[in-house]
Amino acid sequence: MIEKVSVGSEDIELVPQLTLDCVIFGFHDNVLKILLLKWKGTDLWSLPGGVIRQNESLDEAAIRVLKERTGMDKIFLRQFYTFGKVQRYDTNDIQKQLAHVIDPKLWYQRAISIGYYALVDYEEVFPNPDHLSDECAWWDLSDVPQLLFDHGEILEKALHALRLELSFQPIGLNLLPEKFTMPDMMRMYEAILGKKIDPRNFQKKILNSGIVVKLKEVKKGVAHKSPFLYKFEEKRYKEVLKEGGLFFI
């Protein structure tokens, strides 16, 4: 059976019982951040997500949802897991908590969710809630509240996938601004890994890889000696990633 939902004056046909959930990572002030939604009239938080239309691919659905929440057109995203347990969470409890937002009769008896993680430049994002939420906001990874549904598990698996793919995906190119310092880059990797990295070894391997170019500019507004700024040499970066060559940890 094909399900329909009304959007304004238009009826949209949906893929039944199939949804997607997005873990949107940002990096700011040396901290890895997650974009979350707060449901209307509650203090309950969850990951952004949505339904999948019959006339769009899974990636197109994810891009649409991400654009709606962030205001960004071009976003790096990766499909990392399919969540398909018969009983993923306490459905009755969720229906009661959110009955003022969604008619309990409209919930899927069972929903399969495709998990995506996205990497964005924190400064470029304009968080935007959807029609079911009061707020869309960044949270530090270390301070994320208890999440609705099975979104705690989804976040955990997304972070695990991100860590596994550090040497194969353009993580820095998508999380860091166009110009950055070597300490900025190192702290980004430390924030993702949740552990310290030897700064001398890190800088040596990054410079030897040729993936960054040192600029003549220095970072302004810092208390100590101003560090030089760098930018990625994208062609070389892609070559190194293709070879899995960022095993610097």
pLDDT single digits (tens) 131-186: 999 999 999 999 999 999 999 999 999 999 999 888 888 899 999 999 999 999 99
Tens-place pLDDT, residues 78-109: 999 999 999 999 888 999 999 999 988 888 88
Phi, psi at 96, each rounded to 5°: -70, -45
pLDDT digits (tens, 9 = 90+) for 18-34: 999 999 999 999 999 99
The pLDDT confidence band at residue 126, using thresholds 50, 70 and 90, is very high
Phi, psi of 201 (to 5 degrees): -65, -40
Confidence (pLDDT) at 168: 84
Domain ranges of the chain: 3-164, 171-242
- Residue 97 near residue 129, CB atoms below 8 Å: no
Does 129 or 241 have the greater pLDDT score?
129
Is it the case that residue 63 has pLDDT exceeding 60?
A: yes
Neighbours of 242 (CB within 10 A): 9
Quote the strand ranges of the chain, DSSP E. Answer: 3-7, 10-28, 31-39, 45-46, 49-53, 76-83, 112-119, 133-140, 180-181, 212-218, 228-232
**Six-digit token pair at 47?**
């990951």
> Do 147 and 46 contact (CB within 8 A), yes or no?
yes
Whether 248 shows a pLDDT value over 80: the answer reads: no
CA–CA separation, 46 and 51 (whole Å): 15
Give how far Cα 67 sits from Cα of 56, 182, 220, Å.
Answer: 15, 30, 32
Task: Give percent above pLDDT 70 in the chain.
Answer: 92
1.10.3720.10, 1.10.10.10, 1.20.1730.10, 3.40.640.10: which CATH number matches 171-242?
A: 1.10.10.10
4 has a pLDDT exceeding 70: no
Please state the CATH superfamily assignment of the domain spanning residues 3-164 in this structure: Nucleoside Triphosphate Pyrophosphohydrolase (3.90.79.10)
Q: Are 186 and 197 in contact (CB under 8 A)?
A: yes
End-to-end Cα, the chain, rounded Å: 50
